[in-house]
Structure 1
Amino acid sequence: MKKWSKLQKELYLIIDGKIDFQIHCVVYPMRGDRATSPCPRYWITIGKEIVFDYPKDFTDRNGHVQHHNRFVSEDANYPYYCDVSLISNLIREYIDTPVTDILTRKFENDYWGLTDILRAADKRIGKRRLDELRDSLNNEAAQKILKLRFKTLAENNTVTKE
């Protein structure tokens, strides 16, 4: 896997720059009695609003992380351990997907709804296909991004007509 900064840079090349989308990744060392484990934090902002925050958005009231669409029991291994690479691998898979397949591809390893957010922000997807996407997504963050995309498209259309 490439360094995060290189992956982030590649992702930014396909993201609509007019929506002030930023994605970040930090891995914190979690020190325990027996070992140190990595704890990733991935978050996406639109402007100053955080619209995706892993693991925060994926924990229950007791602090258990929802992992692979189920909550991990207290006695399970450190729940985020393999997510360090899984989320980055998912982003890499999304970037490498041909544009013709972006809307129809099922990303099997997307346990977090991340690809819906990436689709909504992807500048390779035009207005007609964004309309289709808006009707098919239930992801709140993706809907916020789509709303911004449509707003910027309308503003650009007004400027072009004048």
Structure 2
Amino acid sequence: MTKRETTTAVEKMSNAHSPHPRIFAWMCMLFAVFIGQLFAPSPTHAQTICRPVNALFLVDTSGSMNDNDKLPALKRAMNVVLDQFKGRLRIGLMTFSGKSAILQAPLGPLNPADQASSNAHINAMKAKLNALKASGETPLNVALKEAKAHFSKMLHQ
């Protein structure tokens, strides 16, 4: 069946069911809008259900990150991610190397929609991120425990 034959068949079907195809199309559109409004949550309901999403980035700054331009590539990628999620997430930064994990920036801001605090928090994180240097061992287990403890503390405030 060619494109023209298909188009003609569709036109015949729509004309067979309704003498006025435009009225039928408008009725379908109005029905879709009605259904959308019927099942859409109210703004107050949506606000009580949705909380800011928390994202704690756990960044490896061990000596192995000096290999093959890994740390600079990670910094570039993280800067893009921070710009993408600014104002939408509560973001934190933790690094690990040597024998410990260090919280560089706690989860914040408390209200991601507040542009001023969100911009300040992201800019502070970028400054810390761009100053990172790679050295030491890779204490992944310690880092995961520290990240879990930080999340537990922040979520129970």
TM tier, smaller: under 0.3
If each structure's helix is expressed as a fraction of its own residues, which one has the higher value?
A: 2
Higher RCO (Cα < 8 Å, 6 or more apart): 2
Q: Considering only CA atoms, is the larger Rg found in Structure 1 or Structure 2?
A: 2
Q: What's the TM-score once normalised by structure 1's chain length?
A: 0.26
